[in-house]
Amino acid sequence: MSDPFKQAAGNRKVLTADESAEGRLDAWLTAQVGEEFSRSRIKALIKDGQVFLRGDPVTDPQRKVRTGDSFELTLPEPEDPTPQGEDIPLDILHEDDDVIVICKPSGLVVHPGAGNWTGTLVNALIHHCSNTLSGIGGVRRPGIVHRLDKDTTGVMVVAKNDIAHRHLSLQFADHGRTMPLERAYQAVVWGRPRSLSGMVDAPLGRATGDRTRRAVKRPDSQDADEAITHYQVVERFHEKPDATAFASLVECRLETGRTHQIRVHMAHIGHPLLGDTVYGAGFKTKANLLPEEIRKIVNGFGRQALHAFMLQFEHPRTGEIMHFEVPLPDDMVELVEALRR
């Protein structure tokens, strides 16, 4: 049987379905291309009109593949996987020969990945630090020992050499149980937790059917990772006589460091973060209860209301306890002040 995968002129590939072909178009094309492109990328190319059948574009990713169908797939030019330095401003809190501590703004992705090959914190660090960053994290994550979500603001530390990287990684892996690492966040959540302080102990893993989301798992689930968050209510907004509130400012401290941990845990106990369209979309209509001026600010808050305000760690060379705190960014200050009104 002839190979169904042939290289066409330019950056087009021709793929012909044989008698064993079955299923929807995006899944079949992904299987034919292999690891070169993810299924989500193939799906996007289909919707963008980059797949043709007998000269006509096919834009339905769910179209059934039939024996004899010969598809032309237009592929984008390959992107350089090695990040390049970019002159992106950094808010530097501390820097020496071993570490650099920054305050990350909202909208800045930490390291390159699908859809964000440039304009990341790594690109900024490469430009600022030249070739002094630790290489343990690989070419796409030089010096990176922990991360914050794209729209989460706050303190981060980066390793400038391999010794610092190993030492810091041990501290983050320990999560402050036996070492001096501490991390604290401020979040604005819907409502008011029943207890003014407490602990959420709920294992996390990938959400079923969506690899970008996380979900609470049963402890005996194969993909369940231990996740523990401690929280304390700092301030309540529009508190009522029955001890409920419209929203609350909460301080969270991590005992583990899972992806989206605070966002998932607070949603799990019924108090998702304001502005979190992934884990708190169902709460957005609550803003309709507010006066118009405040409602506009709440509805216009374009990210999850989460800020990593404190980071403490042991310096990898001197052993000194390094402690950094940064105030709420301007957009969260505006949100809190509006809620206070």
Instruction: List the CATH number of the domain containing 63.
Output: 3.10.290.10
316 and 281 part of one domain? yes
pLDDT at 1 over 60: no
146 and 62 part of one domain? no
Alpha carbon 88 to its chain's center: 20
Read off the pLDDT of each residue in 292-301 and give the average, rounded to a whole number: 90
**Distance, CA of 191 to CA of 225 (rounded, Å):** 27
Tell me the average pLDDT of the chain: 88
Which tens digit of pLDDT belongs to each residue from 27-70? 888 888 765 567 777 888 888 888 999 888 899 988 999 888 99
Between 117 and 107, the more confident residue is 107
Per the structure, the count of domains in the chain is: 3
339 and 205 part of one domain? yes
144 and 246 part of one domain? no
198 and 247 part of one domain? yes
What is the band of 10 on the pLDDT scale with cuts at 50, 70, 90?
A: very low
* pLDDT at position 8: 39
pLDDT at 80 over 70: no
Closest CA to 200 of 272, 283, 151: 272
For residue 180, give Cα distances in angstroms to 113, 162, 320.
31, 20, 10
Which residues make Cβ contacts (< 8 Å) with residue 338, sequence separation at least 6?
293, 294, 297, 298
Structural contact between residues 133 and 140, judged by C-beta atoms closer than 8 angstroms: no
Which tens digit of pLDDT belongs to each residue from 108-149? 999 887 777 889 999 999 999 987 888 877 777 899 999 999
| Orientation of helix 330-340 relative to helix 292-299, angle to 10° | 150
| Orientation of helix 25-33 relative to helix 39-47, angle to 10° | 120
List 26, 69, 98, 149, catalytic entry? 149
Read off the pLDDT of each residue in 60-87 and give the average, rounded to a whole number: 82
Picking from 118, 144, 172, the residue at the C-terminal end of a domain is: 172
90 and 27 part of one domain? no
Torsion sign over Cα 178, 179, 180, 181: negative
* pLDDT at position 215: 95
**Distance, CA of 202 to CA of 210 (rounded, Å):** 19
* pLDDT at position 4: 40
Picking from 16, 43, 74, the residue at the C-terminal end of a domain is: 74
165 and 179 part of one domain? no
288 and 221 part of one domain? yes
* pLDDT at position 3: 42
59 and 143 part of one domain? no
180 and 261 part of one domain? yes
Structural contact between residues 127 and 88, judged by C-beta atoms closer than 8 angstroms: yes
Range of the domain at 109: 79-172
The CATH number given to whatever domain includes residue 261 is: 3.30.2350.10
200 and 320 part of one domain? yes
pLDDT at 7 over 70: no
pTM of structure: 0.76
Instruction: Using a pLDDT cut of 90, give the percent of the chain over it.
Output: 57
Which tens digit of pLDDT belongs to each residue from 254-270? 999 899 999 999 999 99
Tell me whether residue 149 is one of the annotated catalytic residues: yes
121 and 223 part of one domain? no
Read off the pLDDT of each residue in 309-320 and give the average, rounded to a whole number: 97
Picking from 50, 74, 98, the residue at the C-terminal end of a domain is: 74
Which tens digit of pLDDT belongs to each residue from 155-192? 999 999 999 999 999 999 888 889 999 999 999 999 99
pLDDT at 5 over 70: no
